[in-house]
Structure 1
């Protein structure tokens, strides 16, 4: 008999063995008490639920600059452990109920009904939590934490709800959630009834104790989730400096809960006094006094015709998305033309990635470093002595396409700028375009009428014009009739990928913003106030981008790209074309505009003149999340120094060397000086936010 004739017999034997193995495994499974089996099944389904969402995150939302597979595999490993921990924690109430009720687990309605309600609520909360987390990550590039409740603030809920409605497929998402909850409810109810019909496995006291001890040990080990002295902690997910890898390693629900016990905003007078000499020297305070904590600098004005001042805040306009900083798609030709004819600031940084924080920061001259709510929402932080209020003889204007109740921004202006006129939705003739109010095109068109009227009356004005369309839902209009959105067929997609944009909609939105900047300049020229107006245009922060590498420094990896914004001054009658390479900050804008316009003022803020070349070693103070941990930072032309506020670890990066290498040990004197200045900025800001009242 040859070997080929034996093959059918081997196949039969293998088949029999597989059947026997299946029967044996089924026997072992059935020998486990059915209430324990139900617990195991539900915990496995909870775990599968989390793993599926993790896979969705990885496939559709995850982005990183890490090239090796090892960190990503480690992130997956940690993430699966966190998921296991949460599944087991959620399974504990079911486990306790099962072991207390034992075989009555399937016969008592008083157990069945609360059990079903519990599982339904768990899946309901978890599903919405995971979906909102994905949306939050898509919007901000960060896992959701308790600060998300700022979007539920009184007076803002409706606007934020409309933004969600207009930016995301809400109806389809809700239908999907409803269908999923229906199917998962069928799963846990049918499993319950099916197991309830099976014969009960009677356990003696010793066997019962053995099963109880085994399950407690398994649950405890899974929740502990670490073969070490300490249990698995969320900080272990931060083993790289890459936000994407860290986010992949975290469980969003556990991360949210771990951040619920946040500190309250306050200030520390002894700390402020400790670093006051450093801050006073940096700012060139007129009369330094550590006891009075005086920050005042008196700036003289000049005689002559008063220039108008217009601040144009460009929504989500980071440096990297514009033509001035060589984005491969060159999406902002109008801005580039103005910047080439004016003053371009290559290293302009905002203190934080938030529109509300930027409006507060530019107006008050103080970085918004609040821990939870933005400073504009803190009643004790709204009252400030601001430079805009000191434009004597000027009409003071704030123009927004939407509603100024947003983030309590109205109070920042009305409480601090006497006689300011606010123009918002309800005033404009144009209809609302989306949740953010009238379109930027219509806002600029109607703002021009206001500017022309003031110019006709020979009344100088200082105006804050806030654009908003470069923001989800990325609404664009035809403008004068000649703005056209592009599609993938119209552009070089290889170049598009290198540019960092996450979608065609985002790309069209920045193009539309640039179109409207051109529209503003055209109207100003026709209106006769172009030559007598100083325009400063600045981004409030960068937008969420895919990894990009065309900038002079690896700012995407350093996270500084999020706070690196576009900024330029345009006023041909007053300034000559130039490029400023030293670092400047958002808080410097009003002191600079007042000085350019010849306005005398007292500077109570942390801002300085952006054009004062006598100041050396300039830095911009910023806060950002790196690995989902808050860092305070100073960013200069050469050095970037940052302090992790959780661990107090600090890092020094040299843009003229290896920008991603910590060189603190190589330059200890530089590190020490920047550490003192960083802490001086931080403590001075905390103090002034509460103590710079009029």
Structure 2
């Protein structure tokens, strides 16, 4: 390197080491996949050159903090104590990170025969399971020691070769430093905005494509677009057969399919009387497990208001959430759709203009509004609801441009806020906003309304206004549950004084349970949620003990309202026309089909497991496979994935 760039000597040598190590890793993968990869000269060379291209992209991200530091650090302090601490320490930490990442890539390849993807991203979420798995599968102390030894060896090698001293004493001008910085920044922008991970998928041979990729680059690509390909990772069957089975499962005596093919669109008319155009307020309560509700067996009296409402409502004692996150609950309730692998549709690209419950309400002349106590920018909620026919009311913190919404957006003001924490306003403030907004709606016209309400108070840090309940704020989930119940009771007492109350149906349902962890791969007890439909004009208690899922709740409401409508939903009316009892439960990687006695779990890597399920004991016992249940499970999840990715679930203009 020319003397004028000596300050970058360490950066240069480290970049060469990284590229050589990455090249060697690809050679290892070729040897590992010798019988599967395309080993023609052209394919080998293209794989290696493509890989080097992506390695440069990784370097552009890794080196930016270094080139920024070298640009901004005052030249007169080169080699001083602070400079030595930063460069020695930073080099050692970066070496540890990269060494660990190479080890992690090798173990990941051993199991999945591919570079990092969403499964690796998922490992960041399920840390307990991952750490336990690593601890039981590998000699963890030896691996940690190996990473440290390799990192120290590299450090001492660079020290002995005087790369550090050259960097400390390098006399590089500001113009030359900014020159290197701008080149680094240009590469970073190019790889960050132009190059996608799919550019590495040039071959018909999957192994060559995977070897062409760079692990770190693939990881962050998966982090941004974290969903799993169903057809690549899960058991599949003939698509026509799958749709035929699903249409048969969803068919009722009052169902008329619009046409055959790759869809489930149908007309439903479960009416037992005249249609009722009731207002509807659906309250989706954060993390409300069934086991905290008195009617579901809890004896701590945490929810006296909800229990009181249950005594005059239709309530579902055997309903299960489809997932373990708020956006999964929203997806299930709004789309009436089984969970698909990876992230929720609420957070995915191309989730606009989907057929959803708001579509049906809109067709019936309703005004749809999504209410949220926090900033709906979080988890893409505002974008999803506003691009699927809902007006927005939330506590904006200014993250997005209000004018960018295709529907109206109103903000909960500071004057309307009595208490707020990291997640948003307290549930009382949210419900008070609903009351005032509803009064305004009904004063403007006679158009019926549908509100989808998402609460926040039953969430860590479990803080809420003092003096409302006996449990002190911030002391735990029981207090948050009790406060949420108090806020719901207060809302119903105030709503009862309104002119629109008698003509309104209220739904209370959880988004998911408080915890999803358990001893089983899908711990069914931690999917059991409360669900209530309260109609003030029909205030009598009816328990529905049919095993069902979140996706069945609103179709059941439509049946109670005697509605005839077009449906693309997977949910059933479990009161007027109960079909086979079943529920869909899953997490990011595992998809379950639950019946009163069994659970079929589809796993990635095209594997599955069939269990005997005991609800009373919360036990899953592995049993012999059942091809009929497996075929049915595959059909539901495969067609759901197909409909979304082929845009068949979208509204047609």
TM-score by length of 2: 0.61
User: 1:622 — aligned with what?
Assistant: 585
**Correspondence for 2:249:** 282
Contact kept? 2:280, 2:506, Cα under 8 Å? yes
- In 2 relative to 1, CA 639–529 (structure 1 residues): closer, same or farther, beyond 3 Å? farther
Q: Deviations over 1:497-556 (max 9, x none)?
A: xxxxxx942111011111111011101111243332211110000113887xxxxxxx97
Partner of 2:326: 355
1:307 maps to which of 271, 275, 278: 278
Q: Give the secondary structure class of the aligned counterpart of 1:411.
A: helix
Quote the Cα distance in structure 1 between the aligned partners of 2:511 and 2:386. 21
Q: Secondary structure at the match of 1:598?
A: coil
SS for the counterpart of 2:590 is strand
Larger Rg: 1
Matches of 1:358 and 1:300 in 2, distance apart? 25
Q: Number of matched residues? A: 457
Task: Give the match's secondary structure for 1:316.
Answer: coil
Inter-partner Cα distance in structure 2 for 1:663 and 1:93: 44
Deviation per residue, 1:242-288 (Å, 9 max, x gap): xxxxxxxxxxx9xx999979975456597432311221111116238
Tell whether the 8 Å contact from 2:275 to 2:563 is kept in structure 1 after alignment. Answer: no
Q: What is the DSSP-based 3-state SS (H/G/I as helix, E as strand, rest coil) of the residue aligned with 1:346? A: strand
Native 8 Å contact 1:299 1:603 kept in 2: no
Match of 2:306 in 1: 335
Match of 2:649? 692
Question: Which of 539, 542, 551 matches 1:587?
Answer: 551
> For 2:164 and 2:447, how far apart are their aligned partners in 1?
81
1:365-423 deviations in whole A, cap 9, x for unaligned?
Answer: 2234242x432232323331123222222222221122222222223222222xx4321
* 3-state SS in 2 of match to 1:536: strand
Kindly indicate whether residue 588 of structure 2 is the aligned counterpart of residue 633 of structure 1. no
> Structure 1 543/452 Cα, relative in aligned 2: closer, same or farther at 3 Å?
same
1:557–1:390 distance in 2 versus 1, CA, 3 Å: closer
Which whole-Å CA distance do the structure 2 matches of 1:561 and 1:402 have between them?
Answer: 29
Quick one: distance in 2 between partners of 1:265 and 1:347?
Answer: 30
Residue in 2 that maps onto 1:664: 623
TM-score, normalization: structure 1?
0.58
Is the 1:402–1:437 contact (alpha carbons within 8 Å) kept by the matching residues of 2?
yes
Aligned to 2:428: 441
Give the CA RMSD over aligned residues: 4.0
User: Which structure 2 segments of 5+ residues have no match?
Assistant: 1-91, 101-125, 171-215, 396-410
Q: Distance in 1 between matches of 2:607 and 2:434?
A: 47
Query: In structure 2, what is the Cα distance between the partners aligned to 1:395 and 1:596?
Result: 20
Structure 1 residue 290: Cα displacement: 5.2
Q: Is the contact between residue 469 and residue 482 of structure 2 (CA under 8 Å) also seen in structure 1?
A: no
Contact persistence 2:385–2:391 (CA under 8 A): no
Q: Give the structure 1 partner of residue 512 of structure 2.
A: 541
Report what 2:52 is aligned to: none
1:11-26 equivalent positions in 2, closer than 5 A:
none
Q: For residues 131-150 of structure 1, what are the structure 2 equivalents within 5 Å? A: none
Pick from 437, 459, 462 the counterpart of residue 474 of structure 1. 462
Contact 2:341 2:591 in 1 (8 A): no
Q: Which residue of 2 aligns with 1:291?
A: 261
Whether the 8 Å contact between 1:314 and 1:538 is mirrored in structure 2 is yes
Question: Which of 567, 591, 601 is equivalent to 2:565?
Answer: 601
- The answer to whether the Cα contact below 8 Å between 1:318 and 1:561 also exists between their aligned partners in 2 is no
**Contact 2:513/2:527 (CA < 8 Å) preserved in 1?**
yes
Q: Which runs of 5+ in 1 are unaligned?
A: 1-41, 51-60, 65-71, 115-252, 488-502, 548-554
Paired with 2:483 and 2:463, the residues of 1 have a C-alpha distance of 9
Q: Structure 1 residues 437, 98: CA separation in 2 closer, same or farther (over 3 Å shift)?
A: closer
Q: Provide the residue aligned with 2:371 in structure 1.
A: 399
2:406 maps to which residue? Answer: none
Residue 433 (structure 1) shift:
0.6
1:590-631 Cα shifts (integer Å, max 9, x gaps): 22222323333211121221323x333221112126xxxx22
SS of match in other structure, 2:239: helix
* SS of residue matched to 1:474: coil
Contact preservation (8 Å) 2:525, 2:615: no
Report the counterpart of residue 84 of structure 1 in structure 2: 142
Name the SS for the 2:242 alignment partner: helix
Q: Would the aligned equivalents of 1:364 and 1:605 in 2 still touch at CA under 8 Å?
A: yes
1:88–1:476 distance in 2 versus 1, CA, 3 Å? same
Comparing 81-90 with 504-513, which one deviates more in the overlay? Answer: 81-90
> Whole-Å Cα distance in 1 between the matches of residues 385 and 148 of structure 2?
48
Q: Distance in 1 between matches of 2:441 and 2:275?
A: 18
